């Protein structure tokens, strides 16, 4: 198992390098010059501009700057943020906890809502509630995440002021007692986490429903019913566990959706995480920050896929041979 996991990690290194190279090329091809972003509209002498470009390495060819960034990365250095005037590692350290909090809450909403919708639809197969849940979840999944976020703000922050429209904390929340600060954070977290989680829960709900309907026709389910077990107990205790095997894989594949969706949601809700940091860095052409955030997001996606494989191996012993490379 350890050897297989290590092999997967080594295979991920060339993939991350390709992602970094492609990201660097895209940012470099954008119009404008980072020096113009740093200087703004202020008229400066040419020697000041040259000194600035030399200080940040902007006078070097793009290929040389990328190689220098890779060499620094091999030493554990992520570079210097041009727009924030601080090490990139410090900018990431301040933004990563907010993103992990939002992504974790959204993943919890995604799992709970997807399983609940799928189980309810399977229990009411062919009925009106099944059709309503299936069509509404698919419609929500097809809508752009930013539009869902804007409509949620319009409805639940302005029309019916239940949740705050933006930010991570209220003004003056730092002076509140610990319990009040935690409740304030939860109040601000609820709406963006629900938007991000519910927008991607339709795929999980469909897999749960399809897996349950297939499992309910198996012999062991019929045997459980023949022993006099109730329909709810058979559905949850016997059929759901076997139907969850493909769902675990879907949850691993949903990590890219949550990571990419968090960028949009963080911008819409002014959430101070990696998505907002990446958005601001793209506008400022802050290449070191964009490279670092993209690389970290890609690593999170790969780690999520590996975690899904390990979880599937833990739930279903038949898949352990595929993960460990052992012959059945």
Average pLDDT of 7-19? 81
| 54 in a structural domain | no
Please state the domain count of the chain: 1
Q: Is residue 21 part of a domain?
A: no
Separation in Å, CA 306 to CA 5, 18, 207, 232, 262? 8, 19, 20, 33, 20
Q: Does residue 62 form part of some domain?
A: no
Q: Is 56 part of a structural domain of the chain?
A: no
Contact by Cβ (8 Å): 263, 281: no
CA atoms within 13 A on the CB side of 247: 26
The answer to whether residue 64 sits within a structural domain is no
Burial (CB count within 10 angstroms: exposed 0-12, middle 13-18, buried 19+), residue 226: exposed
Dihedral angle of Cα 15, 276, 284, 59, to the nearest 10 degrees: -30
Examine residue 32 and state whether it is found in any structural domain, yes or no: no
Please count the helices (runs of H) and the strands (runs of E) in the chain.
16, 2
Strands (E), 58-128: 80-81, 86-87
- Give the model's pLDDT for residue 328: 40
Per-residue confidence (pLDDT) for residue 232, from 0 to 100: 60
- Sign of torsion over alpha carbons 239, 241, 242, 243: positive
Q: What is the span of the domain harbouring residue 196?
A: 89-324
Where b means 16+ CB within 10 Å and e means fewer, 287-323 reads: bbbbbbbbbbbbebbbebbbebbbbbbeeeeebbeeb
pLDDT digits (tens, 9 = 90+) for 195-217: 998 888 887 888 888 777 777 66
- As a whole number of angstroms, the distance between CA 119 and CA 243 comes to 10
Following DSSP, what letter does each residue of 242-274 receive, concatenated? HHHHHHHHHHHHTHHHHHHHHHHHHHHTT--SH
Mean model confidence pLDDT for the chain: 80
- Measure the CA–CA gap between 80 and 287, rounded to whole angstroms: 9
Residue 192 — very low, low, confident or very high, per pLDDT cuts 50/70/90?
very high
Q: Which two tokens stand for residue 227?
A: 């022993």
Q: Is the pTM value of this prediction over 0.85? A: no
Q: What are phi and psi of 86, to 5 degrees?
A: -155, 160
Task: Extract the runs of DSSP E, i.e. beta strands, from the chain.
Answer: 80-81, 86-87
Question: Cα–Cα distance between 75 and 66 in angstroms, integer?
Answer: 15
Kindly report the CATH number assigned to the domain that includes residue 100: 1.10.3720.10
Ranges 110-114, 165-169, 199-203: which has the least confidence: 199-203
The per-residue pLDDT for 321 is 53
Kindly report, residue by residue over 246-259, the tens digit of the pLDDT. Answer: 677 677 667 666 77
For residue 81, is pLDDT > 80?
A: yes
Any domain includes 24: no
- Supply the DSSP symbol for 80: E
Sequence-distant (6+) residues with CB within 8 A of 191 are: 152, 153, 156, 157, 163, 164, 269
What values do phi and psi take at 87, rounded to 5? -60, 145
* Residue 23 lies inside a defined structural domain of this protein: no
- Give the least confident one: 92-96, 222-226, 267-271: 222-226
Q: How far apart are CA 61 and CA 167, in angstroms?
A: 39
In this prediction, what percent of the chain has a pLDDT beyond 70? 78
Overall average pLDDT of the 276-281 stretch = 88
- pLDDT of residue 155 exceeding 90: yes
pLDDT value of residue 151:
93
């Amino acid at each position: 198992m350890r050897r297989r996991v290590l092999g997967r990690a080594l295979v991920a290194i060339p993939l991350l390098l390709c992602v970094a190279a492609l990201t660097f090329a895209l940012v470099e091809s954008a119009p404008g010059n980072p020096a113009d972003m740093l200087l703004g509209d202020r008229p400066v002498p040419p020697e000041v501009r040259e000194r600035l470009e030399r200080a940040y390495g902007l006078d070097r060819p793009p290929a040389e700057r990328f190689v220098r960034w890779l060499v620094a990365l091999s030493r554990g250095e992520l570079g210097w943020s041009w727009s924030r005037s601080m090490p990139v590692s410090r900018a990431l350290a301040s933004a990563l906890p907010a993103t992990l909090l939002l992504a974790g809450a959204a993943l919890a909403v995604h799992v709970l809502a997807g399983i609940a919708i799928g189980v309810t639809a399977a229990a009411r197969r062919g009925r009106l509630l099944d059709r309503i849940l299936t069509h509404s979840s698919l419609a929500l999944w097809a809508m752009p995440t930013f539009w869902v976020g804007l409509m949620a703000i319009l409805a639940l922050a302005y029309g019916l002021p239940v949740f705050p429209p933006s930010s991570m904390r209220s003004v003056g929340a730092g002076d509140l007692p610990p319990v009040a600060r935690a409740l304030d954070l939860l109040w601000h977290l609820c709406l963006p986490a629900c938007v991000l989680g519910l927008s991607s829960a339709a795929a999980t709900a469909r897999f749960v429903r399809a897996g349950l309907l297939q499992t309910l026709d198996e012999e062991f389910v019929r045997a459980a019913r023949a022993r006099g077990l109730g329909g709810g107990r058979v559905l949850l205790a016997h059929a759901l566990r076997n139907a969850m095997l493909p769902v675990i894989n879907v949850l691993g594949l949903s990590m890219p959706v949550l990571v990419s969706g968090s960028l949009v949601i963080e911008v819409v809700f002014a959430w101070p995480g990696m998505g907002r940091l990446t958005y601001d860095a793209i506008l400022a052409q802050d290449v070191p920050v964009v490279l670092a955030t993209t690389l970290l997001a890609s690593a999170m996606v790969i780690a999520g896929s590996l975690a899904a494989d390990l979880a599937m191996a833990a739930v279903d012993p038949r898949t352990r041979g595929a993960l460990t490379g052992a012959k059945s």
